[in-house]
Amino acid sequence: MSELRRAGRLLRAPPFGSLHLVAAIALGGAGCGDDDRRSPSTPEPLVIGSAPAGFPAGPVSKTGPADNALTEARAQLGKRLFFERRLSRTSEIACASCHDQQHAFADPRRVSIGVDGRTGTRNAPALVNLAWGQSFFWDGRAPSLEEQAGMPIEDPLEMDLPLATAVERLAGDPHYVEEFRRAYDAAPSEETLRKALASFVRTLVSGDTAYDRYLAGDSTALDAPALRGEAVFFGNGGCFHCHPPGALTNEGFFNNGTFVEGGDAGRQSLTGRTGDLGKFKVAGLRNVAVSAPYMHDGSLETLEDVVEHYDRGGLGDPSTDPQIEELALSADEKRDLVAFLHALTDDAFLSDPRFQP
């Protein structure tokens, strides 16, 4: 395999561009034009750059659906709504309360705490590169970001506010009325509320990890343990089955051995089918080192725990996918694998002021 891996690196390097460069060009171009007329209070643009390695090529600005094209006004409105506590019944919980930028917009708690201290049942997933997602939530029950965006607002365990009430609150705020008019040429509505939130989430693009730089041709970007870990990841660790190079998720649903009898049925709750028992969506791995705890239930606290889980072949329920089997990795291989997972952290994304209120 070693020769093939070397060949793989050579083959891999040319196709990937540098998001850094793309972003710099985008910002630089803006600086020569509109930015010169921007007032000090004008927010930094959100709709910039291109798809990271592994995702369909094209600018982020083209990722919105036909009926919700991604524009700066919509994304900026969505960002304001993302931090808006009045979207919860008690006006205490915002989307950002459970999706913390420092944690790749995931929740460091095992399950999130909603209004009145109510606890959820699943770990809040990271919000990274969802512009290219195929379905949303751990069980994939939302086929679009627009559909996804309204569900936590109405969920009794989360924000517990009927969308109609949320819209009434927004419609009573002249600033929001003006922002909705600018973004959608319409008054606040359930539809535009969901669309605006989806627009902001599409701008949460992470593509500047050490792994990305390595893919782009910087052979020094990964240190020796991470390089060895990459070989395990795409070799006998078998991680590549669900986490393909570049994108690091295949958007599929699998029972990865976390299900135990009587536990969360996952996708089966939607479909009712025997084969969907314990299936959950494959998570993307960019910034995985900062988005603990792991799995749909937050049951694994560290990356080391995750590696051990897969190494033992999961918890052993017969419903487990046949790809999840004992790996018998050595202690060194496990450490290297964790090192590679740490190389998937995009520090600039985690501190990007554009994503802050």
Partner 1 sequence: MAGLSGAGGGAAGSAGGGATAICPEERVPLRSTGALVELLTELTLNGNPVEFGEPNPLAGGGTLLPLDFRFYVSAVSMMRADDTIVDVDIVTEAGAPVPYGVHLVNIDDAPSRRFRLLVPPGSYSGIAFTLGLEDGCNSDFSQRNPPLSAASAMTWPVPFGFLFLRYEGNVMPPSGGAVPPDAGTGASLPPSSIHMGGLPGTLLAPKVEARAALSVGEGAPLNVRLALDLDAVFAGATAPLDVGDVTLPPGDEVVAGERLRRSAPELMLFTLLSP
Residue choice 61, 129, 206, 249 for contact with partner 1 (CB under 8 A): 249
Rank residues 11 and 69 by Cβ distance to partner 1 and give the closer one.
11
Residue choice 245, 305, 312, 350 for contact with partner 1 (CB under 8 A): 245
Please say whether the beta carbons of 57 and 50 come within 8 A.
yes
Rank residues 58 and 357 by Cβ distance to partner 1 and give the closer one.
58
Q: Closest approach of Cβ 318 to partner 1, in Å?
A: 4
Rank residues 8 and 108 by Cβ distance to partner 1 and give the closer one.
8
Q: Closest approach of Cβ 302 to partner 1, in Å?
A: 26
Per-residue contact track with partner 1, 140 to 169, x per CB under 8 A? ------------------------------
Q: Does 21 bind partner 1 (CB under 8 A)?
A: no
Alpha carbons 165 and 180: distance in angstroms, whole number: 16
Task: Report which of 103, 61, 99, 62 is spatially closest to residue 82, judged by C-alpha positions.
Answer: 99
Task: Report which of 245, 248, 247 is spatially closest to residue 12, judged by C-alpha positions.
Answer: 245
Rank residues 141 and 169 by Cβ distance to partner 1 and give the closer one.
141
Rank residues 238 and 263 by Cβ distance to partner 1 and give the closer one.
238
Structure token pair of residue 213: 């730089």
Residue choice 22, 47, 48, 55 for contact with partner 1 (CB under 8 A): 55
Q: Closest approach of Cβ 344 to partner 1, in Å?
A: 15
What single string gives the DSSP state of each residue in 21-37?
A: HHHHHHHHHHHTTGGGG
Residue choice 35, 147, 190, 251 for contact with partner 1 (CB under 8 A): 251
Angle made by CA atoms 60, 15, 342, in degrees to the nearest 5: 75
**In 18-55, which positions are buried (b, 16+ CB within 10 angstroms) versus exposed (e)?**
bbeebbeebeeeeeeeeeeeeeeeeeebbbbbbbbbbb
Q: Give the footprint of partner 1 on residues 254-273 (CB under 8 A).
A: 254-255, 271, 273
Collapsed DSSP state (helix, strand, coil) of residue 337 = helix
Q: Closest approach of Cβ 330 to partner 1, in Å?
A: 15
* Among 61-69, 87-95, 313-321, 334-342, the segment contacting partner 1 (CB under 8 A): 313-321
Any idea how long the chain is? Answer: 357
Per-residue contact track with partner 1, 81 to 110, x per CB under 8 A? ------------------------------
Rank residues 173 and 325 by Cβ distance to partner 1 and give the closer one.
325
Rank residues 61 and 249 by Cβ distance to partner 1 and give the closer one.
249
Q: Residues with Cβ < 8 Å from 344, sequence gap 6 or more?
A: 209, 210, 211, 248, 285, 286, 287, 288, 289
Q: Does 225 bind partner 1 (CB under 8 A)?
A: no
Alpha carbons 154 and 31: distance in angstroms, whole number: 41
Q: Does 321 bind partner 1 (CB under 8 A)?
A: yes
DSSP-assigned letter for residue 234: T
| Residues 334/247/207/55 CA torsion (nearest 10 deg) | 170
Per-residue contact track with partner 1, 275 to 304, x per CB under 8 A? xx----------------------------
Can you say how many angstroms the Cα of residue 43 is from the centroid of all Cα atoms in its chain? 23
Q: Residues with Cβ < 8 Å from 333, sequence gap 6 or more?
A: 228, 229, 232, 236, 237
* Among 4-12, 71-79, 99-107, 111-119, the segment contacting partner 1 (CB under 8 A): 4-12
Alpha carbons 22 and 191: distance in angstroms, whole number: 32
Q: Closest approach of Cβ 220 to partner 1, in Å?
A: 20
The binding site for partner 1 (CB under 8 A) comprises 1, 4, 7-9, 11-12, 15-16, 51, 53-57, 132, 134, 234-236, 238, 240, 242, 244-247, 249-252, 254-255, 271, 273-276, 318-323, 325
